[in-house]
Structure 1
Amino acid sequence: MTQDEDRRRCAGRASRRVARVCAAATALLITSCGTADDPKDAAASSAPAPASASASASASPNGSSAPIKPGEVRIAGEVDKPYTVTLADLRKLPRAEASVEFISAKGDQKHTYQGVLLHEVLKAAQPRFDQTKKNGQLRGVVAATGGGDYRAVFAWAELDPGFAKSQILLAVSEDGTAFEDSAGPRLVVPQDTRGGRYVSELNQLWVGTVDPVVDGAH
């Protein structure tokens, strides 16, 4: 074999290798990009479809990813059965009544409220208190959030009839006048002399324990 023939044969093999590499690269490009001409279309075609709000709520351990609608109250936190309740739901439950007096920014207040015991509403969510601890529920706390991100905190013992005589309510009416559905219930705390924890436009009740904070403190 002459040197010219050898060079031609090597060049032919090199050309075939280049052709195979180009073909493979083209196939890979088509597979990864699809037929989209616009980069935004390509990104959209490769991105997963967004889940619905209800599906997201179901996937969340606290059921808290869906937005809260006006008038709704979400019960969440360290509970086994998070759920959402409305004034219409509360009106169907057994009623309790409390006549209260307290001091507010508007002066002395005296009202009669009707509503549902807060303990009953939270108990339905099945809080996860550590039953291996003596009186494990006494480590529990409840954070109540209302309109304008207003928030007040309670110890579980304050609302548990097994430990306290007070009857904290989710009120559905004041002095015989029903609250509007879009406003939601009002928290009523008969044992308080000031109205700071009478949370209006209530929209969230979070149940948890102080253990992660206390045990993690330095």
Structure 2
Amino acid sequence: MTLDRQALAGMPRMSIDTTAIHHESAAHWQGVSLKDVLQHAGVPSGEQLRGHNMATMVRVTASDNYQVVFSLGELDPMLGNEQVILADTRDGQPLTKDGPFRLVLPGDKRPARWIHNVTTIDVILGNAGH
């Protein structure tokens, strides 16, 4: 599945206000929940998330090959419910130098997973073997 601004426009929007963290100034971010992106792609969630699906990972890669990994369980609303936004605007303006997309995790104490210039989101299925 290819994500662009048009694809995101059809998904529920969310926003978050953040205070200054590390070298980032306070900002108003807007985009879509990573959970909604995964749901749109048909990734298992809720009651489907059990067994080998619990070992499923979501890897997000930036243009400089910086990567962060989440377990599907930590993102699922019925389990970890980690809030992750795939942001496409900051303070009402489209992302330019950090864009077109950036991850924003308001619950993180430092922005190491706030990767900018997101290029791919891979879902790595859990091993069905025991």
TM-score (norm 2): 0.80
Paired positions, count: 128
Name the counterpart of 1:99: 17
2:29 is aligned, of 113, 117, 124, to 113
What one-letter code is carried by the residue in structure 2 that aligns with 1:119?
Answer: K
Ranked by relative contact order (alpha carbons within 8 Å, sequence separation 6 or more), the top structure is 2
Contact conserved, 2:102 with 2:114, CA < 8 A, in 1?
yes
1:208 to 105, 120, 124: 124
1:16-31 aligned at under 5 Å gives the runs none
Unaligned runs of 5+ in 2: none
Are 1:179 and 2:64 matched, yes or no? no
1:172 alignment partner, SS class:
strand
Letter in 2 for 1:207: V
CA distance in 2, matches of 1:89, 1:186: 15
Equivalent position of 1:42 in the other structure: none
Select the structure that is richer in strand.
Answer: 2
Larger Rg, first or second structure (1 or 2): 1
2:42 maps to 126
Q: Tell me how far 1:101 sits from its aligned partner.
A: 3.6
Residues 57-206 of structure 1 correspond to what in structure 2 (within 5 A)?
83-101=1-19, 103-104=21-22, 107=23, 109-127=25-43, 134=50, 136-180=52-96, 183-206=99-122
Q: Could you tell me how far 1:208 is from its partner in structure 2?
A: 1.5
How far does residue 162 in structure 1 lie from its aligned partner after superposition?
1.6
TM-superposed CA distance for 1:133, in Å, is 8.1
Question: Taking structure 1 as reference, are residues 90 and 134 closer, same or farther at Cα in structure 2, changes over 3 Å only?
Answer: closer
Q: Report if the CA contact (8 A) 1:99-1:112 is conserved.
A: yes
Q: Could you say which structure has the higher helix fraction?
A: 1
Residue identity over aligned pairs, in percent, reads 27
Per-residue CA distance 1:7-41 (angstroms, 9 max, x = gap): xxxxxxxxxxxxxxxxxxxxxxxxxxxxxxxxxxx
Taking structure 1 as the reference length, the TM-score comes to: 0.50
- What is the DSSP-based 3-state SS (H/G/I as helix, E as strand, rest coil) of the residue aligned with 1:90? helix
Backbone CA RMSD of aligned residues: 2.9
- Residues 157 and 101 of structure 1: CA distance in aligned 2, closer, same or farther (over 3 Å): farther
Q: Distance in 1 between matches of 2:53 and 2:5?
A: 27
Q: How much does 1:144 deviate?
A: 0.2
